[in-house]
Structure 1
Amino acid sequence: MVQAVPDPRRWKALALLCGAFFMVILDSAIVVVALPSIEIDLGFAPSDLQWVLSAYALTFGGLLLLGGRSADLLGRRRMFMVGLALFTAASLLCALAWSPAALIAARAFQGVGAAVLTPTALSIVTTTFEEGPERNKALGIWGALGGVGGTAGWLIGGPLTDISWEWIFLINLPIGVTALALAPRLLRESRAQGQRRGFDPLGALSATAALVLMVYAVVEAPQAGWTGAQTVGLLAASLAMFVLFTVIESRVAQPLLPLRILRSWTLVGANVTMLVFSTIAFGMPFILTLYAQQVLGYSAVEFGLSSIVFPLAVTVAAIVGQGLVLKAGFRLVATAGLTLLGIGCLYLTQVSAGGSYFGDIFLGLLVSGLGVGLTFVTCSIAALAGVDEREAGLASGLSNTTFQIGAAVGVAIVSTVAVSRTDDVVAGGGEPIVALVEGHQAGFLAATILAGIGILSALLLLRRPPVPSPDQPPLVPVAEHADD
């Protein structure tokens, strides 16, 4: 194998990759601000509204491992462009949706594009930058922009929603087209060496089925009953699919998730912590935007502008966090981040019907933003620490899979807790506005409990970054192939 020198275009390539990642994460969050408008315009039932987020997260999370492996085997630049084209086309379909079913289907298709695009982009970052300070700096920028994209959606989504909610999807078109034009110029083609081309469709199918069954069970539990036959049956079927996935991966020649990769304690700890973290990172904003617009009467623009403290806090914490990781270790930084996130969610449990921005929201946004930035960048670095170049796509796909699984489950948990509490208060004769507030309080409390679980996972599972031996050669990108 020809050892490549550092790519002189690597920082421009990073800008392109981060821009594409920003678009994907932005799209996950920007929809949150527009949910009340989408609910009214398309006639969504309150209990079905969360599927606008969950349909995207399910196909995204369920197919990420397949997307990451495709990048390793078929070429990372090639698959990056395929994913980018799919995501851009799906964004147009979302904007043209005429009914709840049409939007949910388009969002699911959009998740397919994101499942190819995101792990491919992250694996290109990993194989372009040498492990150590330079890669940590690149991943710090990646994590900061990811955190900003996950929160700036509130700021950008407000003005766009005031024009028309369709614009939250149309904004992706010029970004996607520009990125497609620049990719061949700025990105090297690379793929894993010494591996046969093979895929695992049964593994992808069983993993996706397990996720869909699990989330659907949680979403329908308030109506079907948490101990009802439907809920128990769906959860049992989901568990059976996960077991089937494990059996398939242990027997197929080219597994979607080679079980040997789970021998890395750092990788396992990072992914478990990322899973729990993302339940809060998506669940809390889902409840917050509904509280601000339905109870406080904020317009989408007012909520977006007032939430600017959140992306600013995320950015600062992510930049600081990537430098702290090598000094303090994964465990300490992630624990600090999850603690701040838990404190922010706990503060938000005191929201009231007659609340105000500075009295009820501001401090919770600030503290939670710091927690999101520290935790996200730490888990992103830990999930790729010491990973062989041949499995960069796999590791990045696994990291993004856990993130999206957590997103789908988190939104389902907090929304069902909130709706269930609201329904109980209404059934008991409570006023609608009081019922809404108590439902939101319950949702924030659920997010606080999830943060406590995340703190335990960080303390028990995360370890210090591995230190490469002096004679260990640095990881470098695979040289371009003559046939590409």
Structure 2
Amino acid sequence: MTAGKRSRGAALGALAAAQFTVMLATSIVNVALPQIRDGVGLSDGGTTWVVNAYGLAFGALLLAGGRAADLLGRRRVLLAGLALFGASSAAAGLAMTPAVLVGARAVQGVGAAIIAPAALALVMDLFPPGPERGRALGIWGAVSGAGGAAGVVLGGVLNQAWGWPSIFYGVALGTFLVLGASVVFVPRVTAGEPAPFDLPGTVTVGLSLTGLVYGVTTARTVGWTNGRVLLGFLIAAVLGAAFVLIERRSRHPLVPPRLFASGRVTSGNLLMALFGSVWIALFFFLPLYQQQVLGAGPLVTGLGQLPLAAANMLGATLAPRIARRIGATATVIAALLTEAAGMLWLSGIRTDGSFLTDVLGPSILVGLGLSITFVQLTGLSIEGVAKADSGLAGGLVNTTRQVGGAIGLAVLATVAGSVTSASHGSHLEALTAGYRTAFAISAAVLAATALLASVLIRPSTKAKKTRKKACTPSTNPHPSSSDSRP
């Protein structure tokens, strides 16, 4: 391996670790929520904001974080995000009151919104389009998907061994280690052309997304017709319309129209939103089934995520090879259907089930499908984007996944809760019926997304010509100019 490849490999390792940390913080608190509630005196309703505060800030500020990375320098913005993320994680562990804890989680979300798009843009800068970028995105996908599963594992281990504050101290320690590695290994990349930051657009879209995510997350506990929920949706709609008007008139818009010139960015983000609606819900319902129905403790529940995490890493590693063999469209469809099959299998969980009979097999299928889909849709969503907009493209695809996940989880939690309430069986039977319904709907959403992918994803002109050249010997040693166009 040449020195250049080694240095890029070390940089990729640091960037992937940064993404892993962001995904880890999304799920690491899930198995410790009862202990966190008792530790700082949260109410049942307030406990949900330990999760929601992070997701709200993360989803609302991703576009701003991506654009800041493009304009101010990706490495500089990444390091600032990691420092903020680590400091807020430590503050969460030290929290003694609900307000401090929820506030620290919100600041964590701000840090995550800075880290994720900057790190993805740096990966795109370091690895040009082609097999190298495919392999890099495979590694990226492996750690992204594994981060969600690893969060449940580490959350269970740390919570049982040293109590809930150790969860946040562990995240803080890991973040500062990643910060040090990034300082050493991640190279400086030239920032985009100097341009005014679109402050009106940033504020309106941020508040619009905040209203939307607040509405759907609050609806999980108070219902969809509650005044606070409706107010959140109204704010989202009004400010969303204002954002569109501002962007049309701005000379330097936050989301320039050129970003969607290829059409594949739009398709990739739409599919990512649908896919994300199931992703986050999986790591919500599966641990609940293991703990509330099967009676597993936090540690056993966490360890039960290891097969899913292993399958996730394997799938992400294989994704580029599969895509080169059968094509991106077929790979996405096959992966979505594989994950749908796993969800359908989970929809048969039983009250008297076990990990081996009800969880292990479908977890492996879900992990394989999830990781391959994520890698392919991420690549699709940034394909053909100009280097100056790569941070924004990374912020956009993360936004669609995060917001789609918030909406999907709110809808599925509401439906599952309604089924549980309407059940006439025992408490465990009622809970299981609700979880089965959530998994069945998830399977249907994934199958519908696979069908939509077959319509939306078409091979690019360059991809078609590349495959044609690979299959047909060339008779012209001088390719035409049209062959070299992106």
2:410 aligns to what?
412
Moved more, 292-301 or 328-337: 328-337
Letter matched to residue 282 of structure 2: M
- Work out the CA distance in 2 between the residues paired with 1:78 and 1:396: 16
Does residue 457 (structure 1) correspond to residue 456 (structure 2)? The answer is: no
Moved more, 293-302 or 458-467: 458-467
Q: Is the 8 A contact 1:215 1:409 kept in 2?
A: yes
- Work out the CA distance in 1 between the residues paired with 2:275 and 2:37: 27
- Work out the CA distance in 1 between the residues paired with 2:319 and 2:382: 16
2:375 to 374, 377, 381: 377
2:233 to 232, 235, 255: 235
2:346 to 345, 348, 353: 348
Does residue 97 (structure 1) correspond to residue 95 (structure 2)? The answer is: yes
1:124 aligns to what?
122
Q: How far does residue 335 in structure 1 lie from its aligned partner after superposition? A: 1.5
Q: Residue 236 and residue 462 in structure 1: after superposition, are their counterparts in 2 closer, same or farther (change >3 A)?
A: farther
- Work out the CA distance in 2 between the residues paired with 1:474 and 1:84: 37
- Work out the CA distance in 2 between the residues paired with 1:245 and 1:458: 28
- Work out the CA distance in 2 between the residues paired with 1:222 and 1:89: 30
Q: Residue 386 and residue 70 in structure 1: after superposition, are their counterparts in 2 closer, same or farther (change >3 A)?
A: same
Does residue 434 (structure 1) correspond to residue 429 (structure 2)? The answer is: yes
2:174 aligns to what?
175
1:336 to 334, 337, 349: 334
Q: Is the 8 A contact 1:73 1:191 kept in 2?
A: no
Q: Is the 8 A contact 2:85 2:172 kept in 1?
A: no
Aligned to 1:113, what secondary structure does the other structure show? helix
Q: How far does residue 379 in structure 1 lie from its aligned partner after superposition? A: 0.9
1:482 aligns to what?
none
Q: Residue 462 and residue 101 in structure 1: after superposition, are their counterparts in 2 closer, same or farther (change >3 A)?
A: farther
- Work out the CA distance in 2 between the residues paired with 1:112 and 1:187: 21
Q: How far does residue 209 in structure 1 lie from its aligned partner after superposition? A: 2.3
- Work out the CA distance in 1 between the residues paired with 2:175 and 2:314: 27
1:279 to 277, 293, 310: 277
Q: How far does residue 452 in structure 1 lie from its aligned partner after superposition? A: 3.1
2:20 aligns to what?
22
Aligned to 1:89, what secondary structure does the other structure show? helix
Q: Is the 8 A contact 2:216 2:406 kept in 1?
A: no
- Work out the CA distance in 1 between the residues paired with 2:22 and 2:102: 17
1:199 to 179, 197, 200: 197
Q: Is the 8 A contact 2:415 2:438 kept in 1?
A: yes
Does residue 78 (structure 1) correspond to residue 76 (structure 2)? The answer is: yes
Does residue 185 (structure 1) correspond to residue 189 (structure 2)? The answer is: no
> Which structure 2 residue ranges, 5 or more long, are not aligned?
466-478
2:67 aligns to what?
69
1:257 aligns to what?
255
Q: How far does residue 38 in structure 1 lie from its aligned partner after superposition? A: 2.8
Moved more, 256-265 or 307-316: 256-265
- Work out the CA distance in 1 between the residues paired with 2:348 and 2:200: 47
Moved more, 321-330 or 256-265: 321-330
- Work out the CA distance in 2 between the residues paired with 1:59 and 1:98: 22
Q: Residue 176 and residue 474 in structure 1: after superposition, are their counterparts in 2 closer, same or farther (change >3 A)?
A: farther
Moved more, 126-135 or 462-471: 462-471
Q: Residue 126 and residue 452 in structure 1: after superposition, are their counterparts in 2 closer, same or farther (change >3 A)?
A: same
1:348-370 CA-partner distances (Å, limit 9, x unpaired): 22222222112221122111111
Letter matched to residue 459 of structure 2: R
Q: Is the 8 A contact 1:341 1:370 kept in 2?
A: yes
Moved more, 75-84 or 346-355: 346-355
- Work out the CA distance in 1 between the residues paired with 2:413 and 2:355: 22
Q: Is the 8 A contact 2:62 2:117 kept in 1?
A: yes
Q: Residue 361 and residue 242 in structure 1: after superposition, are their counterparts in 2 closer, same or farther (change >3 A)?
A: same
1:394-441 CA-partner distances (Å, limit 9, x unpaired): 11111111122122223222222223333344xxx6533333222222
Q: How far does residue 300 in structure 1 lie from its aligned partner after superposition? A: 1.1
1:54 to 23, 35, 52: 52
Q: How far does residue 188 in structure 1 lie from its aligned partner after superposition? A: 2.0
Moved more, 366-375 or 41-50: 41-50
Q: Residue 48 and residue 71 in structure 1: after superposition, are their counterparts in 2 closer, same or farther (change >3 A)?
A: same
Q: Residue 36 and residue 445 in structure 1: after superposition, are their counterparts in 2 closer, same or farther (change >3 A)?
A: farther
Q: Residue 462 and residue 34 in structure 1: after superposition, are their counterparts in 2 closer, same or farther (change >3 A)?
A: farther
Q: Residue 48 and residue 447 in structure 1: after superposition, are their counterparts in 2 closer, same or farther (change >3 A)?
A: farther
Q: Residue 431 and residue 102 in structure 1: after superposition, are their counterparts in 2 closer, same or farther (change >3 A)?
A: farther
Q: How far does residue 127 in structure 1 lie from its aligned partner after superposition? A: 0.7
Q: Is the 8 A contact 2:219 2:410 kept in 1?
A: no
Letter matched to residue 317 of structure 2: I
Q: How far does residue 220 in structure 1 lie from its aligned partner after superposition? A: 4.2
Q: Residue 36 and residue 370 in structure 1: after superposition, are their counterparts in 2 closer, same or farther (change >3 A)?
A: farther
- Work out the CA distance in 1 between the residues paired with 2:211 and 2:358: 36
Aligned to 2:164, what secondary structure does the other structure show? coil
- Work out the CA distance in 1 between the residues paired with 2:414 and 2:43: 13
- Aligned length in residues: 467
Aligned residue runs from structure 1 range 355-370, under 5 A: 355-370=353-368
- Work out the CA distance in 2 between the residues paired with 1:8 and 1:224: 53
Aligned to 1:255, what secondary structure does the other structure show? coil
Aligned to 1:287, what secondary structure does the other structure show? helix
2:209 aligns to what?
211
Q: How far does residue 35 in structure 1 lie from its aligned partner after superposition? A: 2.9
- Work out the CA distance in 2 between the residues paired with 1:300 and 1:66: 36
Q: Is the 8 A contact 1:385 1:466 kept in 2?
A: no
- Work out the CA distance in 2 between the residues paired with 1:234 and 1:449: 28
Moved more, 111-120 or 152-161: 152-161
Q: Residue 51 and residue 446 in structure 1: after superposition, are their counterparts in 2 closer, same or farther (change >3 A)?
A: farther
Q: Is the 8 A contact 1:417 1:446 kept in 2?
A: no
Q: Residue 229 and residue 302 in structure 1: after superposition, are their counterparts in 2 closer, same or farther (change >3 A)?
A: closer
Does residue 290 (structure 1) correspond to residue 312 (structure 2)? The answer is: no
Moved more, 227-236 or 445-454: 227-236
Letter matched to residue 372 of structure 1: L
Q: Residue 352 and residue 47 in structure 1: after superposition, are their counterparts in 2 closer, same or farther (change >3 A)?
A: farther
- Work out the CA distance in 1 between the residues paired with 2:138 and 2:439: 28
Give me the CA root mean square deviation: 2.6
Letter matched to residue 400 of structure 1: N
Q: Residue 403 and residue 219 in structure 1: after superposition, are their counterparts in 2 closer, same or farther (change >3 A)?
A: closer
Q: Is the 8 A contact 2:220 2:411 kept in 1?
A: no
Aligned to 2:251, what secondary structure does the other structure show? coil
Aligned to 1:289, what secondary structure does the other structure show? helix
Q: Residue 350 and residue 7 in structure 1: after superposition, are their counterparts in 2 closer, same or farther (change >3 A)?
A: closer
Q: Is the 8 A contact 2:56 2:214 kept in 1?
A: no
2:470 aligns to what?
none
Question: Identity over the aligned pairs, expressed in percent?
Answer: 36
